[in-house]
A and B are shown apart, each in its own frame.
Chain A
Amino acid sequence: MSKKAKSLILHFVLIILVVITIIPFLWMVFSSFKTNSEITSITPTFLPKLFTFNNYVNVQKSFNFLRLFANSLFLSVAITAIVIYTSTISGFVFAKYKFRGKNLLFGLVLGTMMIPWCVTIIPRYSMMLDFKWLDSYLAIIIPAAVSGFGIFMMRQSISTIPNEMLEAARIDGASEWFIFHKIVFPLSQNVISSIAIFQFLWSWEDYLWPYLIISSEEKQVLSVGLKMFNGRYGTDYGGLFAATTISIIPVLIVYLIFQKRFIDGIAASSVKG
């Protein structure tokens, strides 16, 4: 088979996969302009028969959408920024420093990724109660401030930075802080981008923990607000789709900003040397 034919087949398969992936998303976006009866119709439609903006107009009526949107944005950006910094600095230590128990400590960090997070909810809730952090953003930000996944990714990435480069900086009189901030951090941009995307997405869609911790409606997050469309005896699908469509905009923006470096970062972290 010629190279061109292989390429054509590969592209065809990829297009099919793209269509399969994107159709549900497009259906949701189009359905946000439909009435509920059309959405639940036995004969489903892809494009709206009767185009309506009512679902968007009523979003703010269902709950304080803008407030919750801002809360989610603040928490996601803050957690992502903190995680990037803690992951990079921890990854640097694990990759470039030698100390007793380093591998054991790194093993423990990896171990945290293997514990299902849901089993930690009750003890974490009790801790927050003891700290008097209930109904406070600290209870959401602090437990998420250090990420095992982020540390692992950064360690793998920083390991590829030549030791000679760091040694040269030390000989020139650079402090460890200077080396970290001016050499290691800029050289880790690709992996930072991939961590940023993952972490932002996880924080943005986090539901149960913020819901359990936050009591005040004005402090609540968007994922909890979206759940309000799902009532006891039925779901307001139109409202849910409209609010969800708006709520994915920040995720798309983050992905568009970081996508090139994200792809480079994933490739780089999978190859050592």
Chain B
Amino acid sequence: MKKIFSAILVFTLLLSLVGCSSGESKPSKKLETDTTKEKNLPVLGENVKFDPNILINNGEPKEVEFWVWDSAEIFQSIVDGFEKIYPNISIKIVSHPWGDYWTKLPLALQNGEGPALFCVHNSQHDNLINNMEPYDIDIKDLTADFTGAENHVIDDKVYYIDYGMMTGSIFYNKDMWTEAGLTDEDIPATWDEFIEVAKKLTKKDSKGNITQAGFNYNSDVKSMIMGLNYQKGELLFKEDGKTPNINNDTMKENMQFLLDLYNVHGIGSKDFGVTDAESFGQGQSAMVYKWGWYYNQLSNDYPDINFGVFRIPTPDKDVPFAYDRYNGESTIGISSTVDDASKEIAQAFIRYFMSNDEALKELCIKYSIFPSKKTLAEDADILSHPVLKTLSTTVDYLIWPGPFPSTIETTLQQSFEDIIYNDSSIEDSLENGNNKIKADMEGVDFSSVESQYKHIENK
């Protein structure tokens, strides 16, 4: 026992050297005082401009933190470019796991111990906004450069906008497509055409059991259902922008449509594959409706699947009121609780980020999101990406309802599962769902921005 304790003691002392050596956090780079104001570097950006020919923090050395949950390598390359201009500035990137980032960040911001810069997701708007500093950028410049920036104005201030828009598309298995005798000419434009194609892609055994689903929406109706409503001109919120519009005839019609895909047309089954994403990845289903992020997941987790992407079908051949809902990928936030020098660095970095087309493009391609920066809308690299190429045709007809509480998505999913798995009636399920959402949203300060949709007058 004595030997064990001695060993532990020696081991602890040795390890304490490792532990203590990390006591002082080293700056990411060796900082020098910046004395060169005129750097003879070009001013970046069209309307939102970044002028490198200024001193930040009077040229005095300063380090700030930048918290991210993903894409640290892309953000690091942006930071490297910024630090190259300013030898006195260090921006230290700190990676966090996605799930608990939203526990730690609000706590750290509140106490003034948080980062100067941090990645934002609009689903956490309420948790963050009280400790965020508005951008020191003219709103006119922002709206001139970025699509949808006007949706983010709060009391004449902007705290973050979207650098890209993510929405859904139909992912299809090209090998199954060919095997079913289908060609590019058969890409469906309407839901009726889609059903016919899905029937050709569905395989059944001698007992009538599905062995290959033509279409699979299991576990992810929530992403699709709101888009179906928008196609028919039905908004997610009533005119006051606060009351959820869940229990209505359009929603009932669309839920019935989804049920009929399985029960009447037989192109899939509620019992065939727990999740659509996995079923498609495993080569069990021929088509799924997924948002842009799925492109990367397929490429990483299911490299053997030969897939293509096409636009979500619509009720008829005409351009609908809207094709689908989109959600924005937010730009970087600035903490309002850090010191003024850190805020100055953060504001300069935001301008650098917003005027850096290459960096924005890289992020958009990584997440398969269509850039909101107008100068990138026609970019060759963007348009060569399968998902983004598809979105380029519909981007003007996508609606963002605003950073609505997550209860809407989760409750809609529960309501549909109640119908399909527990044989509840559509009416009862939607009534219960609507009541639950209303109760969950009581006291939540949310206003829809659907009224700011470009084509709202077509409703």
Contacts and interface: CB of A to CB of B under 8 A. Distances in A.
Q: Do A and B bind each other?
A: yes
Contacts of B273: 42
Interface in A223-259: 224, 227-228, 230-234, 257
A73 B15 contact: yes
Nearest to A135: B25
A36 to B, nearest CB: 5
Contact of B107 (A36, A37, A212, A232): A212
B98 A231 contact: yes
Contact of B18 (A74, A189, A215): A74
Task: Give the size category of A's interface with B.
Answer: 35 or more
Nearest to B302: A37
B301 interface: yes
B9 to A, nearest CB: 7
A183 to B, nearest CB: 14
Interface residues of B, number: 43
B8 interface: yes
Contacts of B12: 74, 77-78, 81
B154 interface: no
Contacts of B104: 211-212
Contacts of B97: 211, 224, 227-228, 230
B13 to A, nearest CB: 10
Contacts of B18: 70-71, 74
A217 interface: yes
A37 B281 contact: yes
Interface stretch (B77-85, B190-198, B292-300, B334-342): B292-300
B44 to A, nearest CB: 29
A63 B94 CA distance: 11
Interface string B4-32: 10001101100110110011010000000
B25 A40 contact: no
Interface string A130-163: 0000111100000000000000000000000000
A216 B103 contact: no
Interface in A59-84: 63, 67, 70-71, 73-75, 77-78, 80-81
A227 B301 CA distance: 18
Chain A to chain B: the 5 pairs with minimum beta-carbon distance, closest first: A227-B97, A74-B15, A74-B19, A233-B293, A232-B98
Interface of B: 1, 4, 8-9, 11-12, 15-16, 18-19, 22-23, 25, 65, 69-70, 94-95, 97-100, 103-104, 107-108, 111, 113, 273, 278-279, 281-282, 284, 293-294, 296-297, 300-304
